[in-house]
Structure 1
Amino acid sequence: MRAVQYDRFGDYDVLHLAEVPRPVPRDGQVLVRLAMAGIHPLDNTVRWGKLPPGAVKPFPVTPGSIGVGTVEEPGALGPAAGTRVMISGGRYGMDADGTWADYIVTEPAHLLTVPDGIDDTGAVALSAGAGYLTAYLALTELAGFQPGNTVLAPGSGGAVGQGGVEIARRLGASLAITTATTTAKAELSRAAGYEVVDLTRESLRDGVARLTGGKGVDVVLDGVAGPITGQALGALARGGTLISIGYSGGMQADINVTDLIWKAAHVRGFQFAMFTQEQINAANVKLLDMVARKEINPLVDRVFPLEQAAEAQRHLIEGGPFGRVLLGM
């Protein structure tokens, strides 16, 4: 079978397509033939070797934590052969080989049946970047979100920016705002139905103040960090909460501590290790139902063939996509 691998940490060029033996499931495991896989910013972090020692399996590593395919060998506890499934949870692409391959061996607990009303692209787009899942868990489990609250999810082209806006609205937010770093992206965001602050025309604080009548937002889902974090903290309403999720804009942030003090702000970090596999699966089942009902609409920027995985990863990190970046087998 084909699998994308790397034999050392480094830049995109360490990725290569290899012919490898099809994996053999152990007792209780499931063999899945993959149809599509997603690209996640974490794949880039792992490939660079930025995780703690021991967090990544010995080389060679096949990246990819996200995928949709069909069960070929269900084992004792897996879904029936022929069932279309989505990877849900697990540390694939890190301490186990991942989804950038024709086949993957998984644990039954890490698989969810994909409803007939959702095609492979829709299912992978939902999970790629984990933006919808992150937003759902952050709002329902960490932020104390209530219907009628206002939410800011910066980064209109990114997974958390798009997923955050759609999930906030679905959960009953009175206003859900994202940001754009170019006027072109701002126009795409408005065409997709998002309320957006065009950062080429006004500051984040000014845009949020304009849209909220000066009150600020109740919740920030910060998947960008860098210079955005301090501005987003300043855009909070009194008693508001900022959830720190990612750092596509940089790992260092400057804040004005008076924004913490005078706003009585709450700041929390997000990671999937905070949640059980049962919580993750339950959230993904709800999200799949939202897609099937067309209550949310995960956007796709581009689908690359498997052999162009390096170009796909570069496009996600450097190309400024508007929507998810996927791999087709």
Structure 2
Amino acid sequence: DAAGVVERIGPGVVGLAAGQEVVVNPGVSCMRCEWCLRGRQSECPEFKLLGFQLEGTCAEYAVVPAANVASKPPHLDWPQAAALSLAHLTAWRMLFSRAGLQAGETVLIHGIGGGVALAALQWCVATGATALVTSSSKEKLEKAARLGAAHGIDYRTADVAAEARRRTGGRGVDVVLDTAGAATLGASMAAVRRGGRIVTCGVTGGAKAEIDLQQLYWNHIGLLGSTMGSQEDYRRMLRLAEQARLVPVVDGVFPLGEYRRAAERMESGAQFGKLALTVSAE
């Protein structure tokens, strides 16, 4: 993620100018392949992320493709703008492009407190969906309730699937959004309704899991993978963020020189939202 001011533009770049305040989409694709030409850039075989396979943005200057830059939503300050792109784009594609979420549907979000989970909660609230969230932290569940979560489930003391079904009158949730992977797949399969959708983007709880294929096909469950989003997803995400005046949840803001302290905060698992690094304006 990054937000900043354009210093210089390369030859042939149009629609951007030095001094422009921008946000950066960290997903970089080749823009030449079959998937890119179809407008499905995050499915590009050469898809890479800034800060993962490519040089990141924890620096005073970064070089990024012009196609990955968009105007900063004016209602956001710099830390909020910097926290927007990756998590909110990922959650947007998971909910809308992949799971086809509709207003009035119910979503189970595992592990509230992380960036994608919180972004998903915010999108649910903004679009009229009902969110059920899980955590092992009472404090995080209380914070999620203040953000608009309809119900919170402590997965240490409650059966997540049983509670989700109880909260939906025995029907099950329409959509499950999962960033944990193997650790939560069983609960997701048990919590989702017949014909419902499970969409996953992470494996923090393990990459390999057993699945009951009979349960999958007999109940018409859609099991979907998702990574980041297309350029069109990004444009739509930014438009709704501005219209809804959505503000990303920022847990803490640190000077760039205190990167280690920010990383330690993240590794502790105590954060609720994104961690932002600020760079001197000089």
Partner of 2:278: 328
Partner of 1:75: 10
Query: Deviation string for 1:100-127 (max 9, x for gaps)?
Result: 1000112211111113322112211222
Q: Does 1:184 align with 2:121?
A: no
TM-score, structure 2 as length reference: 0.82
Q: 1:168 to 1:116 in 2, by over 3 A?
A: closer
1:119-130 alignment, distance < 5 Å:
119-127=77-85, 130=86
Q: Distance in 2 between matches of 1:262 and 1:320?
A: 39
Partner of 1:87: 24
Stretches of structure 1 lacking an aligned partner (at least 5 in a row): 1-65
How many Å apart are 1:205 and its aligned residue? 0.9
Q: CA RMSD in A?
A: 2.0
Q: Distance in 1 between matches of 2:233 and 2:195?
A: 28
Q: Distance in 2 between matches of 1:82 and 1:212?
A: 50
Query: Deviation string for 1:63-119 (max 9, x for gaps)?
Result: xxx111111113341521111111113232244322010001122111111133221
Q: 2:234 aligns with which of 243, 259, 281?
A: 281
Q: 1:312 aligns with which of 251, 262, 266?
A: 262
Q: 1:281 to 1:199 in 2, by over 3 A?
A: closer
Secondary structure at 1:103 match in 2: coil
How many Å apart are 1:178 and its aligned residue? 1.2
Q: Distance in 2 between matches of 1:191 and 1:284?
A: 23
Which AA in structure 2 matches 1:72?
E
1:207-246 alignment, distance < 5 Å:
207-246=163-202
Bigger mean CA offset, 85-94 vs 239-248: 85-94
Q: Are the equivalent residues in 2 in contact too, given 1:152–1:177 (CA < 8 A)?
A: yes
Which AA in structure 1 matches 2:100?
G
Q: Distance in 2 between matches of 1:311 and 1:182?
A: 22
TM-score, structure 1 as length reference: 0.71
Secondary structure at 1:178 match in 2: strand
How many Å apart are 1:219 and its aligned residue? 0.9
Q: 1:320 to 1:224 in 2, by over 3 A?
A: farther
Partner of 1:31: none
Which AA in structure 2 matches 1:281?
Y
Aligned residues: 255
